[in-house]
Structures are given as structure tokens and as C-alpha cells.
Amino acid sequence: MNGLCSRQRHDSSIENLLPGVTVADRLKYRLMPSRLRLSVLLLLFSLPSLVHSQDFTGQVVGITDGDSIHVMHNGRAEKVRLHGIDCPEKGQPFGRRAKQATSDLAFGQKVTIHNTGKDKYGRTVATVVLPSGKNLNHELVKGGWCWWFKKYSPSDNELEGFEQAAREAKKGLWVDPQPVPPWEYRKIKRRAKKSSPSASHARTSEKRISTAIIGNRDSHLYYRPHCPSYGQVAQDNRVEFASETDAEAAGYHRAWNCP
């Protein structure tokens, strides 16, 4: 009898730790075999810790591009994709500047990662909070370096507002009246890859432009035909000039490694 009373008191004290549980649920719990009750309790108490264990704090040790960083977690650099935003790709205009903006804000900083899941590449998708308490995702859109990624964050009114304000103020990439969104750029690249010409045709095309001065829209540098980086400017980021005079008149400067 004393054992039964003791068990009832024990069950009652545990139930009091579970706010919001209905009377019917408490009755079902009491009728469960003791081993099953224990399993239920372990599951209930482990759920909050599982949720919170996804968030972590770590130092930013790498910047892949504007919306992808590496953060130290459990002794390794974890790939983190910023949630709800999409920055220009490396080959796009403003791609390097977006990367630099992220680096200026976050590199070397101890940030808090609020995990929202994994993407198809296995990267952690997250909102990143800086030591100042500012939201890195928001700051990049405010500065005009990234788009609101509506596809993956359709109801984020804050990001929508930040993008609109940056557009109107012509901040960052919005100085370009018709910038190409990175998701469209990636789509174009995939199509081009599927219908790419043969290597011999590509070489012929290179010969046709071998006398042109090539400018990089992102860096505003230009390259002579014999410059080491002449053929490395991405096609979508390339502009041609008839002469160095024309390039300099358009605001471009000769690359430092050109002879």
C-alpha cells in the first residue's frame, strides 16, 4: 500500500512538470506500463534539448561568398548558408563585393547560428547573429549586397522591406538598374552548359577576340591580350573595348599584373 501511494505521489510530481497536459492525457499516462511511462518522459524531456542543440556559437573562419560562410563548431569548420537571402555568384557583377561585405561584417567574429535546417548540399541553413546583436542576413540585404530569397522565405516581410529600401536608395548592386538575380544567373549557366560548343569552337571564339581589350564589370579592371588573367574573366562579367583609351574613358583601370 505504501509503495502504491509512493508511486502515485511520484507520478503526480512528474505530471506537474508537464504544463498544458490535459486531464485525459494524465489519466492515459497513469494507465501506461511503468517502462512505457519512462520512455514517454525521456522523449518529452529530450525534445527541448534537441531543438536547442541545433543552435551554436562559433568563430567565422571562412567566407565562401556573400551568403555562405564557415563557422567553427565541434572542432571543425561547418558550412553555413545564410537563410532567406541570395547574393551574387562569384562570376556575377558585385559577386566579389558581396563577399567582401560579408567578410567585413563577420570574418573572425564569434557569431550565433540559429539553425533552420539543411539544404540539398548538406550545408547548415541559418540566421546568423553578430556579436553586436545585429542580424547578418538582414545587414547584407540592407546594404544592397543580396536579394531577398523569396522562394525559401516567402513570408519574411522584413527582408522584403529591406530589399525595397535598398533598391530605392540604389545601394550596393542596386546602382545597376537591371541586375540579374543569382537564381536566374545559375539557370542561365546550367542551360549554357547543356548546349556548350565543342572545345575547338571555343578556341576559335577566343581567337576572334584575341585583339580586344577585355574589361571586368565587377572589378572595373581591363586586360590586354597578353595579360595573365586575360582569358579568366567570366563571360557574363566581360565587356570588350577597342582600345585601352576606350576602356579608361569608361572608368576602367589596367590590371596590376599586365605587362
Mean pLDDT of the chain: 81
- Choose, from 96, 123, 139, 163, the residue flagged as catalytic: 123
Q: How far apart are CA 74 and CA 70, in angstroms?
A: 13
pLDDT band of 202, cuts 50, 70, 90? very low
Question: Can you give the pLDDT at residue 197?
Answer: 57
- Choose, from 9, 76, 78, 89, the residue flagged as catalytic: 89
Question: Can you give the pLDDT at residue 252?
Answer: 82
81 given a catalytic annotation: yes
Question: Can you give the pLDDT at residue 246?
Answer: 81
35 given a catalytic annotation: no
Cell of 232: 579568366
Range with top average pLDDT, 49-53, 76-80, 204-208, 251-255? 76-80
Higher pLDDT, residue 67 or 256: 67
Instruction: Report the sign of the C-alpha dihedral through residues 77, 78, 83, 87, in that order.
Output: positive
Higher pLDDT, residue 138 or 205: 138
Instruction: Report the sign of the C-alpha dihedral through residues 132, 138, 141, 146, in that order.
Output: positive
pLDDT band of 13, cuts 50, 70, 90? very low
pLDDT band of 97, cuts 50, 70, 90? very high
Where do the domains of the chain lie, and which CATH numbers do they carry?
11-49 (no CATH), 56-182 (2.40.50.90), 198-254 (3.40.10)
- Phi, psi of 47, rounded to the nearest 5 degrees: -60, -50
Contact call for residues 153 and 82 (beta carbons, < 8 A): no
- Over residues 65-75, the mean pLDDT reads 97
Cα–Cα distances in angstroms (integers) from residue 228 to residues 204, 223, 255, 256, in the given order: 19, 9, 10, 10
Integer-rounded Cα radius of gyration of the chain: 28
- Over residues 179-205, the mean pLDDT reads 73
- Over residues 20-46, the mean pLDDT reads 60
Cell of 77: 569548420
Residues paired with 56 in a beta bridge: 113
Look at residue 220 and tell me whether its pLDDT is greater than 90.
Answer: no
By CB atoms closer than 10 A (0-12, 13-18, 19+), residue 157 is exposed
**How confident is the model over 101-158, as pLDDT tens digits?**
999 999 999 999 999 999 999 999 999 999 999 999 999 999 999 999 999 999 999 9
Helix H or strand E segment including 45? helix 34-53
Q: Is 223 helix (H, G, I), strand (E, B) or coil?
A: strand
**How confident is the model over 36-65, as pLDDT tens digits?**
666 655 655 554 444 444 899 999 999 999
pLDDT band of 204, cuts 50, 70, 90? very low
- Choose, from 30, 37, 76, 81, the residue flagged as catalytic: 81
Provide the strand spans (E) within 74-193. 76-82, 85-86, 110-118, 124-129, 147-148
Higher pLDDT, residue 43 or 87: 87
Lowest mean pLDDT among 12-16, 131-135, 153-157, 235-239: 12-16
Question: Can you give the pLDDT at residue 205?
Answer: 45
- Phi, psi of 235, rounded to the nearest 5 degrees: -55, -40
186 given a catalytic annotation: no
